[in-house]
Amino acid sequence: MNTGFLPITKQEMLDRGWDQVDFVYVCGDAYVDHPSFGASIITRVLEANGYKIGFIAQPDWKDPKSIDVFGEPRLGFLVSSGNMDSLVNHYTVAKKHRGTDAFTPGGVMGKRPDRAVTVYCNLIRQTYKKNAIIIGGLEASLRRMGHYDYWSDSVRRSILLESGADIISYGMGEHSIVEIADALNSGLDVKDVTFIKGTVYKTRDEDSIYDAIRLPDFETIEADKLAYAKSFAIQYKNTDPFQAKTMYECYGGKTFVVQNPPALPLTELEMDDVYKLPYMRAYHPSYEAAGGIPALQEIKFSLTSNRGCYGECNFCALTMHEGRIVQARSHESIITEAKQMIEDPDFKGYIHDVGGPTAEFRAPACSKQMTKGACVGKRCLYPKPCINLNVDHSDYLKLLRKLRKLQGVKKVFVRSGFRFDYVVADKNKDFLKELCQYHVSGQLRVAPEHISNNVLSKMGKPGVEIYNEFVKEFEKVNEDLHLNQFIVPYLMSSHPGSKLEDAIMLAQYLKKNHISPEQVQDFYPTPGTVSTTMYYTGLDPFTLLPVFVEHNPHKKAMQRALIQYWKPENYDLVKEALKEAGREDLIGFGEECLIPPRKMTYTYKMGKRGDKKTDAGKKAALASSKSSNSKSGGTKHNSHDKNSHKNVSKHDGFKENSARKKNDKARDSKSKTRRKR
């Protein structure tokens, strides 16, 4: 096997003694040879199996010659948009253009097209009419059948038909990509490669499709939302590699898109083999002058320990992409990678993360999953943990202990999302204790997403009482350890099921618990999720019962503003929302009020020694602020109380982690309390 980066030019190909590559990999991301990048894994796996790969990163989609770097490949083209869906990469949930692209040199936006997989495939077809094209990655995987597309607000055909590709390798592709390559290498025509798990192909011969479920025709789901919801439910229930059936969808009465069952999960040995391949763990040196690849900085010193998730949040596409069965690497494999990381001259002693989709999942949910698969129609954690669920943090805890003992490691952080309901379900609290003691940097990010059980039920998340129990346990552990650490909750607005009263309930909860989130995520309807189906159809795909969905942009803005009710720029939206909901009782100066009866026009200029107010009406504002403090038992929020900075921030999402700095920061808390009011 060759060492170094894969060739990105014809000269580099020739320097290796090759006159032709077997596959050309076309990618929407810049070339980063690191196992956190799917393109890197797939190309290294193919290389390990004896195939020659040329890499074309971010070709000029307006120039057909940009695809012709290596000439015609012997076996075919591999196409991916990169680590992200190109449309999510380009647009916010409000469909506004993002300013930067973390997967492009220097973070420059605009180096890849919208719908990159389709555009690249069409570009290839302009020159190479008959060569095999295999598409994969997140963008292709989650558009493998007819799907609702948020950006065009329409139901679109399978990306296999839109792109003109021959095969989709969906989900985790290590097994399927090698099987596809071997089939093509044996001389099979790509049109005959119809038997591989984890792939989608197209045919005009319905009789050739064996033992399969026929989904509603595309024209039916395009016209009928009920049919769309039913079709999605069938697909969702056939995501388990041990139980799933082949499914197919008809287009125009003539063309059939056929999805084979998912590929089997990797064994521990196979996972280890994937991660010991000779990755350069860096971006290509040709990007140095442009400032490198920002996305690499986020994960360069992080360790992937697992994949798959049985948490099944409805707004997450992991079930459709990675599956519910957790696969993990051995401790030895992870320790070996950590030692390689320590030798990097840029390593400063901090391992930024150890985890995956969910940090602490290190094994399947129960013993039967690796032989019989995950239960159809049942969830491991929702609405409460299954009685067969193996709740055990011990293996993950042993791994963390080994990592923090490595010479050269100062701190090992856990920043992957972990399931707080799984932590609560574990009767042994050693994990939470050691997490707080060794693996938190003052703030622990968790994802309750909401606190209204009405909304949480549509998210597939546990009830707020479980989150409250976790908060209580977290605070007790930190108190015992004499640590002043905070929870920073991830929250989501306008998820299907969320009405204005739910958003107000969340705002009240935040006010009561002194939580001031600096970041809020609006629900983003991306392909492949249960929640997106709810958003489009207004139906729960499993029960077919109606689900409220807020589509009005202004009312969505009101829900979002309520989560940050304390921001002056949100005042008008919050006041409008409260009036519309008949909750004028929350407008005033009382302890439970969210906003005052009038918008405060003064601003604060914060300084180290105090604050200055600039406004003709500052005296009235001060009087109002004092009145508010006296009504709400002001000592709890008043900076004159020596413990006030602790009380205000204990269960807190304040952007600053300044409560630990006792002097100047404590004096500032008084002015911040006034600003919130």
81-99 burial string, b = 16+ CB within 10 Å, else e? bbbbbbbbbbbebeeeeee
How many whole angstroms separate alpha carbon 22 and alpha carbon 14?
14
For every residue of 52-85, DSSP letters joined together read: -EEEEES--TT-GGGG-SS-S-SSEEEEE--SS-
Both tokens of residue 17? 């003694």
**Closest listed residue to residue 391, CA positions, set 358, 369, 424:** 424
Instruction: For residues 109 and 82, give the distance between their C-alpha atoms in angstroms, rounded to a whole number.
Output: 14
Instruction: Quote the DSSP letter at residue 91.
Output: B
Does 309 appear as a known binding residue? yes
Separation CA 236–CA 240 (nearest Å): 9
User: Checking DSSP bridges between strand 147-149 and strand 154-156, what pairing results, if any?
Assistant: antiparallel
Q: How far apart are CA 141 and CA 169, in angstroms?
A: 7
DSSP secondary structure letters along 578-634: HHHTT-GGGBSSSTT-SB-SS----EEEEETTEEEEE-TTHHHHHHHHHHHHHHTTG
CA atoms within 13 A on the CB side of 486: 25
Q: Token pair of 390, please?
A: 């193996």
For residue 436, say whether it is annotated as part of any ligand binding site: no
* Length of the chain (residues): 677
313 annotated to a ligand binding site: yes
Q: Which residues contact 100 (CB under 8 A, 6 or more apart)?
A: 107, 108, 109, 294
| Amino acid present at 385 | P
Location of structure tokens 């064996």: 210
Pure H helices in 300-443: 318-321, 331-342, 369-372, 394-404, 420-425, 430-438
Q: What is the 3-state secondary structure (H, E, C) of 547-560?
A: CCCCCCHHHHHHHH
Sign of the C-alpha dihedral computed for residues 57, 63, 65 and 68 taken in this order: positive
Q: Cα–Cα distance between 283 and 34 in angstroms, integer?
A: 8
Strand partners, 488: 445
The helix (H) or strand (E) run that includes residue 562 is: helix 553-563
Residue appearing with tokens 């209204």:
452
**Dihedral (CA of 569, 570, 572, 573) sign:** positive
- Tokens representing 438 are 């060794």
Which residues are part of a known binding site for [4Fe-4S] cluster? 309, 313, 316
Which residues are part of a known binding site? 309, 313, 316
